[in-house]
Amino acid sequence: MEALASSILEIVRTHAALAPPIVFVLAFGESLAFVSLLLPATVLLVGGGGIVSAAGIGFWPIWLAAAAGAVIGDWVSYWLGFTYKEAIGGIWPLSRRPSLLLKGRAFFGTWGVAGVFLGRFFGPLRCVMPLVAGICAMPLIPFQVANLTSAVLWATLVLAPGWLAVEWLL
Protein backbone atom coordinates (compact mmCIF):
# COMPACT_ATOMS: atom_id res chain seq x y z
CA MET A 1 0.00 0.00 0.00
CA GLU A 2 2.87 2.34 0.78
CA ALA A 3 4.32 1.74 -2.69
CA LEU A 4 0.99 2.68 -4.27
CA ALA A 5 0.77 5.86 -2.21
CA SER A 6 4.34 6.78 -3.15
CA SER A 7 3.60 6.18 -6.83
CA ILE A 8 0.47 8.35 -6.73
CA LEU A 9 2.31 11.16 -4.96
CA GLU A 10 5.16 11.00 -7.46
CA ILE A 11 2.70 11.25 -10.37
CA VAL A 12 1.00 14.24 -8.72
CA ARG A 13 4.37 15.92 -8.08
CA THR A 14 5.51 15.29 -11.65
CA HIS A 15 2.30 16.78 -13.06
CA ALA A 16 1.77 19.47 -10.41
CA ALA A 17 0.95 22.08 -13.05
CA LEU A 18 -2.15 20.05 -13.96
CA ALA A 19 -3.54 20.07 -10.41
CA PRO A 20 -5.31 23.47 -10.59
CA PRO A 21 -6.94 22.77 -14.00
CA ILE A 22 -8.09 19.33 -12.81
CA VAL A 23 -9.53 20.82 -9.61
CA PHE A 24 -11.22 23.54 -11.66
CA VAL A 25 -12.87 20.95 -13.93
CA LEU A 26 -14.02 18.87 -10.94
CA ALA A 27 -15.52 21.90 -9.16
CA PHE A 28 -17.10 23.13 -12.40
CA GLY A 29 -18.64 19.71 -13.02
CA GLU A 30 -19.84 19.46 -9.42
CA SER A 31 -21.64 22.80 -9.80
CA LEU A 32 -22.96 22.39 -13.33
CA ALA A 33 -26.54 21.31 -13.82
CA PHE A 34 -26.90 17.72 -15.06
CA VAL A 35 -23.19 16.90 -14.73
CA SER A 36 -23.29 17.31 -10.95
CA LEU A 37 -25.78 14.47 -10.65
CA LEU A 38 -23.31 12.12 -12.35
CA LEU A 39 -19.92 13.31 -11.08
CA PRO A 40 -18.92 12.55 -7.46
CA ALA A 41 -16.51 15.49 -7.45
CA THR A 42 -16.96 16.49 -3.80
CA VAL A 43 -15.47 13.20 -2.65
CA LEU A 44 -12.66 13.56 -5.17
CA LEU A 45 -11.94 17.11 -4.02
CA VAL A 46 -11.87 16.18 -0.33
CA GLY A 47 -9.37 13.42 -1.08
CA GLY A 48 -7.58 15.63 -3.57
CA GLY A 49 -6.98 18.24 -0.89
CA GLY A 50 -4.98 15.66 1.03
CA ILE A 51 -3.16 14.36 -2.03
CA VAL A 52 -1.99 17.78 -3.20
CA SER A 53 -0.91 18.62 0.34
CA ALA A 54 1.12 15.43 0.60
CA ALA A 55 2.63 16.14 -2.82
CA GLY A 56 3.76 19.57 -1.63
CA ILE A 57 1.50 21.60 -3.92
CA GLY A 58 0.37 24.96 -2.53
CA PHE A 59 -3.14 25.27 -1.12
CA TRP A 60 -4.09 28.65 -2.60
CA PRO A 61 -3.83 27.82 -6.34
CA ILE A 62 -5.92 24.69 -5.72
CA TRP A 63 -8.42 26.63 -3.61
CA LEU A 64 -8.71 29.36 -6.24
CA ALA A 65 -9.27 26.75 -8.97
CA ALA A 66 -12.02 25.07 -6.92
CA ALA A 67 -13.77 28.35 -6.12
CA ALA A 68 -13.55 29.56 -9.74
CA GLY A 69 -14.86 26.26 -11.09
CA ALA A 70 -17.79 26.35 -8.67
CA VAL A 71 -18.65 29.99 -9.51
CA ILE A 72 -18.55 29.40 -13.26
CA GLY A 73 -20.48 26.12 -13.02
CA ASP A 74 -23.28 27.82 -11.10
CA TRP A 75 -23.28 30.79 -13.45
CA VAL A 76 -23.67 28.51 -16.48
CA SER A 77 -26.48 26.64 -14.68
CA TYR A 78 -28.19 29.95 -13.89
CA TRP A 79 -27.86 30.99 -17.53
CA LEU A 80 -29.38 27.68 -18.68
CA GLY A 81 -32.36 28.18 -16.35
CA PHE A 82 -32.75 31.83 -17.33
CA THR A 83 -32.55 31.01 -21.04
CA TYR A 84 -34.61 27.82 -21.22
CA LYS A 85 -37.00 28.38 -18.29
CA GLU A 86 -39.36 25.44 -17.60
CA ALA A 87 -38.26 23.52 -20.72
CA ILE A 88 -35.02 22.65 -18.89
CA GLY A 89 -37.01 20.17 -16.79
CA GLY A 90 -37.61 18.06 -19.90
CA ILE A 91 -33.91 17.33 -20.34
CA TRP A 92 -32.38 14.15 -18.94
CA PRO A 93 -31.65 13.55 -16.05
CA LEU A 94 -34.14 16.12 -14.71
CA SER A 95 -36.85 14.58 -16.89
CA ARG A 96 -36.38 11.36 -14.89
CA ARG A 97 -36.29 13.18 -11.54
CA PRO A 98 -38.81 16.04 -11.77
CA SER A 99 -38.96 16.18 -8.00
CA LEU A 100 -35.51 17.82 -7.97
CA LEU A 101 -36.79 20.96 -9.66
CA LEU A 102 -39.91 20.95 -7.47
CA LYS A 103 -37.77 20.69 -4.33
CA GLY A 104 -35.47 23.37 -5.68
CA ARG A 105 -38.42 25.70 -6.36
CA ALA A 106 -39.82 25.12 -2.88
CA PHE A 107 -36.43 25.75 -1.31
CA PHE A 108 -35.92 28.87 -3.44
CA GLY A 109 -39.45 30.09 -2.62
CA THR A 110 -38.72 29.80 1.08
CA TRP A 111 -35.15 31.04 1.18
CA GLY A 112 -34.63 33.22 -1.94
CA VAL A 113 -31.04 34.45 -2.26
CA ALA A 114 -30.08 32.58 0.91
CA GLY A 115 -31.41 29.43 -0.81
CA VAL A 116 -28.88 29.86 -3.61
CA PHE A 117 -26.14 30.22 -0.99
CA LEU A 118 -27.34 27.28 1.13
CA GLY A 119 -28.10 25.06 -1.87
CA ARG A 120 -24.37 24.82 -2.61
CA PHE A 121 -23.94 22.71 0.53
CA PHE A 122 -26.76 20.19 0.01
CA GLY A 123 -26.11 17.40 -2.51
CA PRO A 124 -28.60 17.46 -5.38
CA LEU A 125 -29.70 21.02 -4.57
CA ARG A 126 -26.18 22.16 -5.51
CA CYS A 127 -26.88 21.95 -9.24
CA VAL A 128 -30.62 22.65 -9.07
CA MET A 129 -30.63 25.95 -7.17
CA PRO A 130 -28.85 27.96 -9.88
CA LEU A 131 -31.22 26.52 -12.48
CA VAL A 132 -34.23 27.45 -10.37
CA ALA A 133 -32.81 30.94 -9.74
CA GLY A 134 -32.48 31.37 -13.50
CA ILE A 135 -35.95 29.96 -14.20
CA CYS A 136 -37.39 32.38 -11.63
CA ALA A 137 -35.44 35.26 -13.26
CA MET A 138 -33.60 36.11 -10.06
CA PRO A 139 -31.63 39.33 -10.66
CA LEU A 140 -28.05 38.56 -11.69
CA ILE A 141 -26.24 40.66 -9.05
CA PRO A 142 -27.85 39.02 -5.98
CA PHE A 143 -27.39 35.63 -7.63
CA GLN A 144 -23.69 36.26 -8.25
CA VAL A 145 -23.15 37.53 -4.68
CA ALA A 146 -24.66 34.32 -3.29
CA ASN A 147 -22.80 32.28 -5.91
CA LEU A 148 -19.39 33.83 -5.19
CA THR A 149 -19.63 33.78 -1.40
CA SER A 150 -20.93 30.22 -1.26
CA ALA A 151 -18.27 29.02 -3.72
CA VAL A 152 -15.47 30.53 -1.62
CA LEU A 153 -16.79 28.89 1.54
CA TRP A 154 -17.52 25.59 -0.25
CA ALA A 155 -14.02 25.41 -1.74
CA THR A 156 -12.55 25.97 1.71
CA LEU A 157 -14.77 23.37 3.37
CA VAL A 158 -14.11 20.79 0.67
CA LEU A 159 -10.34 21.16 0.36
CA ALA A 160 -9.24 22.12 3.86
CA PRO A 161 -10.07 18.87 5.74
CA GLY A 162 -7.85 16.69 3.55
CA TRP A 163 -5.20 19.38 3.35
CA LEU A 164 -5.13 19.99 7.11
CA ALA A 165 -5.24 16.29 7.94
CA VAL A 166 -2.13 15.63 5.88
CA GLU A 167 -0.38 18.74 7.26
CA TRP A 168 -1.20 17.57 10.79
CA LEU A 169 -0.12 13.97 10.18
CA LEU A 170 3.16 14.72 8.38
Least confident of 22-31, 34-43, 73-82: 34-43
Q: What pLDDT shows up at residue 18?
A: 85
To the nearest whole percent, how much of the chain has pLDDT over 90? 35
Three-state secondary structure call for residue 93: coil
Question: Higher pLDDT residue, 47 or 130?
Answer: 130
pLDDT in tens, 86-127: 888 888 777 887 787 787 788 888 888 998 999 899 877 787
Q: What pLDDT shows up at residue 56?
A: 80
Q: What pLDDT shows up at residue 9?
A: 67
pLDDT of 145 > 80? The answer is: yes
Q: What pLDDT shows up at residue 4?
A: 65
Question: Higher pLDDT residue, 79 or 9?
Answer: 79
Q: What pLDDT shows up at residue 88?
A: 84
Cα distances (Å, whole numbers) of residue 156 to 49, 65, 74, 118, 162: 10, 11, 17, 15, 11
Distance CA 19, CA 52 (A): 8
Q: What pLDDT shows up at residue 5?
A: 60
Distance CA 88, CA 109 (A): 18
What is the Cβ-side half-sphere exposure of residue 45, based on CA atoms within 13 angstroms?
32
32: nearest Cα among 123, 126, 98: 126
Distance CA 21, CA 61 (A): 10
Q: What pLDDT shows up at residue 103?
A: 79
pLDDT of 31 > 70? The answer is: yes
Amino acid (1-letter code) at residue 48: G
